A and B are shown apart, each in its own frame.
Chain A
């Protein structure tokens, strides 16, 4: 049986998921070397939504994200060596070392910034959408959020304004059930769906399985089309799960805040082998293509880490510069 989604798009999503995971596994493998000296939040296990979004967004679209942003940055086309160098605190990093893993930016591809305060970029994304509307520019703004963002006041404030002005915003909510070690049930009322809350605020909302990235693509594509055609802000909730610890390279099921059994259930729903298997069954996955893609990704990652390692640290003078523009900076 042939899936309705174009097989080229499907392979694009598959390749992105494989690439994102490989990058993050390489980070995890080397994190113990103590050279990446910043808090680092990995998306391993929950690459599906990012890859699906990456296939939906075009070059004119913008994106913002939060603390767990590697996957979003990469799916939007962000520069890989600059990201790795940033995590290494190097001058060649995308934020010249000032930001680290949690402050990624690549405006050349429309990735406008990720920040470390939960909900912090939600209004920034809405403001970017306002600028598109005022300047009559095409495109939309994708705001990557997690389930905890629906606990912040700024989400409601921002969503309300986006709805009033019918701004071209696509909220993509990765619901991975945990905020650090706090499960959803201690943070939000039982039985209250995130997408219902979003709908009540005035967003057009839908929800689906983030670990079925082709299904996620369908939801995201319809939502993005609506946002682009002036229907106002959209919200897509995608269920998924992070495998590793909240922050850092390890697994943390031993801590006891979630069960090994729960982790195993989600691991069995790994989006990568699942899509691979589906494409194989549809005759849409050429083993040679896959082998070549995996080799390219391996080489690209090796090169990115080599670049980061070889790059210089920022000049110490930069510790106290870039705080103001040139016209203000000469003043103390």
Chain B
């Protein structure tokens, strides 16, 4: 099934399994069903539990917190992460703090889906991956699955957990296909997944960059460079053991970050791994992140904006000190600003 279908499947499984689960968001029951991820759920589970909402992101986040305290398991969806910025007060001051500031009696099991836009002119305020902001906050979990199976498994873990979870879901992954277990499939929050095994370089990725990295890692493998590719899946808590044990083996680290470079998650990983694995490093750790600039709307200005497979392969070559053939990776059958030729906008 596709990633979007896997998200919908997780929601349906949760709604079926527990009457406390509610699903809401702007457009949740509309004819397009949030890129197909909520299609038909209101018809199946009723308007009490699956519903639209006012364009009031901050309040509706607080409503989710209150509903969670009242025994429900709410899932709130934002069609873009950028819209959720209006709700930072409720997320940071209430959801993240509730367990701690009221003495640890209980937390807020609230899942907030934030969809990350990209390309097709999404521009400065419809395309931001601000995972670092959320990962900075004690009390929040941040997950960013790359595959349909992980999307389903992490969403179900988020819904049935006891903590607030920011669920980052890349718009370009919605059409991606993959094997997805049926039923109540859960992926534990805080555990990375090794997608490829190799002894030369540790590549750490998440979300759509895990797919770009797969291409790059498979490409350089044909040239004799074997990489450990670690798909983080969870940004906070972060699976430090997985990265550390890999770097102790490879001595080389490349971190891919779908957010801006300054103050980003990659910087945190590089800093911590450098401190902990100093004696094992054979090359300075490196990172590839988004530029410290907003994303332009014009396709002419987004050409080199995103980290792609060819950049990753080139960086792997730099780490091992061997120039690798990368140019064939940049040949794509579709323009750079869409995930495939079937994507024709508008959002």
Contacts and interface: CB of A to CB of B under 8 A. Distances in A.
B199 interface: no
Given A123-B61, A331-B238, 16 more contacts: A62-B70, A98-B102, A98-B103, A126-B63, A133-B48, A134-B22, A153-B58, A154-B58, A157-B54, A158-B56, A164-B54, A322-B100, A322-B104, A324-B237, A325-B99, A327-B188
A282 B69 CA distance: 44
A123 B101 contact: no
Interface in A122-151: 122-135, 141
Nearest to B49: A134
Interface stretch (A19-27, A88-96, A291-299): A88-96
A212 to B, nearest CB: 31
Interface string A244-256: 0000000000000
Contacts of A326: 162
Interface in A158-174: 158, 160-161, 164
Nearest to B103: A96
B330 interface: no
Interface string B137-158: 0110100000000000000000
B103 to A, nearest CB: 3
B29 to A, nearest CB: 14
A216 B239 CA distance: 56
B63 A332 contact: no
B77 to A, nearest CB: 16
Q: How large is the interface on B (under 10, 10 to 19, 20 to 34, 35 or more residues)?
A: 35 or more
B237 A97 contact: no
A129 B65 CA distance: 11
- Kindly name the residue among A103, A127, A158 whose own CB sees the greatest number of chain B CB atoms within 10 A: A127
A131 B63 CA distance: 9
Interface in B86-119: 89-90, 93-94, 98-105, 107
A156 B188 CA distance: 38
Contacts of B290: none
A156 B239 CA distance: 41
A122 B67 CA distance: 12
A94 B103 contact: yes
B138 A115 contact: no
Contacts of A115: 93-94, 101
A322 B103 contact: yes
B99 A323 contact: yes
Interface string B296-316: 000000000000000000000
A96 B59 CA distance: 28
B103 A128 contact: no
Interface in B253-272: none
5 contacts: A95-B101, A153-B58, A154-B89, A325-B99, A325-B107
Contacts of B67: 127-128, 130-131, 134
A332 B89 CA distance: 24
Interface stretch (A30-38, A39-47, A105-113): A105-113
B62 A154 contact: yes
Contacts of A154: 58-59, 62, 89-90
The 3 closest A-B pairs by CB, nearest first: A127-B66, A131-B70, A123-B62
Contacts of B71: 131, 135
B99 A99 contact: no
Contact of A123 (B20, B70, B90, B139): B90
Contacts of B90: 120, 123, 154
A131 B66 contact: yes
Contacts of A121: 62, 94
Contact of B66 (A105, A117, A126, A324): A126
